[in-house]
Amino acid sequence: MKKEASKKSIINPWEVSGNVNYEKLIKEFGTSKISEDIYKKLDKCHPLLKRRIYFSHRDFDKWLEDYHKGKKVSVITGRGPSEKMHLGHLVPFLVAKSLQEQFNCEVFIPISDDEKFFVKKDLSYEKALEYSKDNILDLIALGFKPGKTFIFQDFVYTDIYKYAAQVAKRMTYSTAKAAFGLTPENNVGWSFYPAVQAAHILFPQFHRGKHRSVVPVGIDQDPFIRLTRDVASYPEFNFEKPAALHAKFIPSLHGSVKMSSSESASEGVIFLSDTAKEVEKKIKKYAFSGGQATIDEHRKHGGNPDIDVSFQYLKMLFEPDDKKLAKIESDYRSGKLLTGELKEILIKKINLFLKEHQKAREQAKKQLDKFLVK
Amino acid sequence: MKKEASKKSIINPWEVSGNVNYEKLIKEFGTSKISEDIYKKLDKCHPLLKRRIYFSHRDFDKWLEDYHKGKKVSVITGRGPSEKMHLGHLVPFLVAKSLQEQFNCEVFIPISDDEKFFVKKDLSYEKALEYSKDNILDLIALGFKPGKTFIFQDFVYTDIYKYAAQVAKRMTYSTAKAAFGLTPENNVGWSFYPAVQAAHILFPQFHRGKHRSVVPVGIDQDPFIRLTRDVASYPEFNFEKPAALHAKFIPSLHGSVKMSSSESASEGVIFLSDTAKEVEKKIKKYAFSGGQATIDEHRKHGGNPDIDVSFQYLKMLFEPDDKKLAKIESDYRSGKLLTGELKEILIKKINLFLKEHQKAREQAKKQLDKFLVK
């Protein structure tokens, strides 16, 4: 509760800190609030959508309209591969998967090993390739539909260069510099990458022809969406402007607004490869609690689920049943449910998920061919 | 003779004008003069080498040494594809071919359709691809050895992106800007291209492992060679620094120092697709003459072969026989040979060459598979 309450809010693609006023962000970024009407149409989707972790959009109403008219629609969401994926990384993919399930649409997943290689000084080319391979297995393990899901890594599916080049021709260094915060001492791969990223977002249309595609992203990434929407409408492309669904920031275990693996290495995050013991230890030790300092006080005053990371994780990721979640919330708020008990519920849920995930990941090794773009 | 004599000499990769002091250039660029010893070892090579149109080098002595020690050596020379190739474009390829013949080495020919696409505002992606295909036929028609010659265009052999990315990581925007004269209003493809070009020069080593490769280039291109030599020695590559052979500027028909198709569109240059009639007309009308204003004066004072474009073309490209060339030179200098007669000799030679070339170009269409890198 004390955390960062007095800090000024800073939101841009490189930095997220302070308390976030999401209503204000919608105004600042010029996006649209997701309406009740839209939420109603997403009733079969992942809790991340239904429970309004995704709160803002661009043209997603048109995407739904196109779908209901029988037009082709798709989802595109990429990944900058890292050594190991953690729970926070799953957010856009869970949303993509549930859109695929509800709307039976294609999903495109570019893996930007090039970006990581350009941006991370000490990351070797070989390591960048390795991380891609590792992360692709985790993505396939989530259960995307084979034949309707297209994964590619830039250093293997190098045809992305043809598309990126076409975008690059229409993007000045000044523009890329402003959108990505480039400095003259950054390498020229980094200068080029904004064009690659735009090509990723436009890839469904390069690959499958003109149609509306939606990108689930953190709201901090919206400047790149805006940039790409400008590119899409140039006459040589004549593409649909990509739609976007914007998420709030997912807290790390410590409760800071954006979960990141750099924050405190292995402590602030649950990796998909963590053992049950590691999960238990991390949640018990690090998951920021909205409960009171003593059991007596907790029974008397109750906890605050709004800032309790364990509750937020259940809400966002691990308790799809609305009734069960409501009961946990009211019990916690009333003081009936203790922090330790709440954490136990979450630990069980995460470990169940990870057990299945780790099994599915082994299976994924045999399914690569069904998912990789050739 | 009156042309540009008073102009200050300007030499950089974007501009060549004025009278050129090649000795001074060697000093300025920090390259080496090609020694008598080296010329002796090139006795079976193209007149462009033997007659010292190539006058400067970097590490070509080491390249020859490696060859004589039985080590692998190769040649790399690229082409920025244009609508139609002209005689001036052939210079580095004729040299590459003759090095391949004398030293039985591999030749690598990258076709930078990406560069042309990035740099030429009005060039469409489709046209860039088309020009590449067109130019590749002309290059194959020159008679390179199949199985020892590797041609690739960046937008088709997109694996070049993997190599360019590895170079790009080690090239800052500042460096690229300085070497290529970039401005912030240039597109990000243009910013990235210096890394692609370095990857082209290093391609023989990326593709075939560490060995010494030589690049025949105009002396104005040396800054890019220097840049690439720096990159080659980074520990993650551990490549040999590429060697270079530097050519003087090839005059256009008008006699200006660098033959370029932009100079006066179709008039200052002989295209490989020109008809015999077009060649005759262009040489008669535009080839800058070192002869006197009237026949009487010419008989009396003689002509100046040193500035006579027709003579220079014979010397550089079309009269390999030293004795015949010496006779033409002395007859012209004495006034025995008139400008019209000299031009007739050249016209016949060019048309003989073009007739064979145009036939070979048709044959080349069936040979693409033997030359294109997959």
Reduced to 3 states (helix: H, G, I; strand: E, B; else coil), residue B102 is helix
**Whole-angstrom Cα Rg for chain B:** 21
The yes-or-no verdict on residue A5 having pLDDT over 50 is no
CA–CA dist B287, B341 (Å, integer): 13
Q: How many CA atoms lie within 13 A of B193 on its CB side?
A: 28
CATH 2.40.10.230 fits A261-362, yes or no: no
CA–CA dist A2, B120 (Å, integer): 57
The yes-or-no verdict on residue A24 having pLDDT over 60 is yes
Instruction: At A70, list the tokens.
Output: 């029988």
Question: Amino acid identity, residue B126?
Answer: E
Concatenated DSSP letters of A203-231:
HHHHHH-S-EEEEEEEGGGHHHHHHHHHH
Does A188 contact B186 at a Cβ distance shorter than 8 Å? no
User: Which pLDDT score, from 0 to 100, does residue A179 have?
Assistant: 86
- Confidence grade of residue B262 (pLDDT, cut at 50, 70, 90): low
Q: A10-14, A94-98, B290-294 — which is least confidently predicted?
A: A10-14
The answer to whether the B20-249 and B261-362 domains have the same CATH topology is: no
Give residue-wise pLDDT tens across range A314-358: 999 999 999 999 999 999 999 999 999 999 999 999 999 999 999
- Confidence grade of residue A262 (pLDDT, cut at 50, 70, 90): low
% chain B with pLDDT above 70: 92
Does A191 contact B188 at a Cβ distance shorter than 8 Å? yes
Q: Which residues pair with B172 in a beta bridge?
A: A187
User: Which pLDDT score, from 0 to 100, does residue A43 have?
Assistant: 87
User: Which pLDDT score, from 0 to 100, does residue B265 have?
Assistant: 55
User: Which pLDDT score, from 0 to 100, does residue A236 have?
Assistant: 93
**Any A CB within 8 A of B187 CB:** yes
Instruction: Fill in the DSSP letter of residue B288.
Output: -
**Any B CB within 8 A of A147 CB:** no
The yes-or-no verdict on residue B206 having pLDDT over 50 is yes
User: Which pLDDT score, from 0 to 100, does residue B253 have?
Assistant: 82
Give residue-wise pLDDT tens across range B308-364: 999 999 999 999 999 999 999 999 999 999 999 999 999 999 999 999 999 999 999
The yes-or-no verdict on residue B2 having pLDDT over 60 is no
Spell out the SS3 assignment of A65-79: HHHHCCCCEEEECCE
CB-based contact B327:B104 (threshold 8 Å)? no
User: Which pLDDT score, from 0 to 100, does residue A346 have?
Assistant: 98
Residue of chain B whose Cα is closest to the Cα of A185:
B172
**What phi and psi, each to the nearest 5 degrees, are found at residue A280?**
-55, -45
Q: Which fold has domain B20-249?
A: Rossmann fold (3.40.50)
Q: Determine the distance in angstroms separating the CA of A263 from the nearest CA of chain B, rounded to an integer.
A: 25
User: Which pLDDT score, from 0 to 100, does residue A6 have?
Assistant: 40
Long-range pairs, B275-279, Cβ under 8 A, ≥24: B276/B351, B276/B354, B276/B355, B279/B347, B279/B350, B279/B351, B279/B354
Q: Taking residues B198-215, report their average pLDDT.
A: 98
User: Which pLDDT score, from 0 to 100, does residue B8 have?
Assistant: 54
**Any B CB within 8 A of A192 CB:** yes
Q: Where are the beta strands (DSSP E) in chain B?
A: 10-12, 15-17, 32-33, 54-58, 73-76, 106-111, 149-153, 212-218, 243-247
- Confidence grade of residue B14 (pLDDT, cut at 50, 70, 90): very low
Taking chain A, what is the end-to-end CA distance rounded to the nearest angstrom?
Answer: 50
Q: Taking residues B117-122, report their average pLDDT.
A: 96
Contacts of A295 (CB under 8 A, 6+ apart): A338
Give residue-wise pLDDT tens across range A136-146: 999 999 999 99
- Confidence grade of residue B179 (pLDDT, cut at 50, 70, 90): confident
Residue of chain A whose Cα is closest to the Cα of B117:
A169
Q: Which residues of A touch B125 (CB under 8 A)?
A: 165-166, 169, 236
Scanning B18-124, the segments in alpha helix (DSSP H) are 22-29, 36-41, 47-50, 60-68, 91-103, 113-119
CA–CA dist B316, B353 (Å, integer): 14
When CB atoms are compared, the residue of B117, B170, B188 closest to A171 is B188
Q: Which residues pair with A212 in a beta bridge?
A: A73
User: Which pLDDT score, from 0 to 100, does residue A14 have?
Assistant: 45
User: Which pLDDT score, from 0 to 100, does residue B9 have?
Assistant: 57
Does A155 contact B162 at a Cβ distance shorter than 8 Å? yes
**Any B CB within 8 A of A125 CB:** yes
Instruction: Fill in the DSSP letter of residue A58.
Output: E
Best A161, A163, A186 member to test B by mutation, with max B CBs in 10 Å, is A161
Mean pLDDT rounded to a whole number for chain A: 92
Count Cβ–Cβ pairs < 8 Å, chain A vs chain B. Answer: 117
Domain boundaries, chain A: 20-249, 261-362
Best B162, B188, B190 member to test A by mutation, with max A CBs in 10 Å, is B188
CB-based contact B218:B246 (threshold 8 Å)? yes
User: Which pLDDT score, from 0 to 100, does residue A13 have?
Assistant: 45
CB-based contact A301:A292 (threshold 8 Å)? yes
User: Which pLDDT score, from 0 to 100, does residue A3 have?
Assistant: 39
**What is the ipTM score, two decimals?**
0.90
Choose from A189-198, A243-252, B15-24 the range with maximum mean pLDDT.
Answer: A189-198
**Any A CB within 8 A of B176 CB:** yes
% chain B with pLDDT above 90: 83
Reduced to 3 states (helix: H, G, I; strand: E, B; else coil), residue A372 is strand
When CB atoms are compared, the residue of B170, B186, B189 closest to A187 is B170
Q: Which residues pair with A190 in a beta bridge?
A: none
CA–CA dist A125, A155 (Å, integer): 9
- Confidence grade of residue A153 (pLDDT, cut at 50, 70, 90): very high
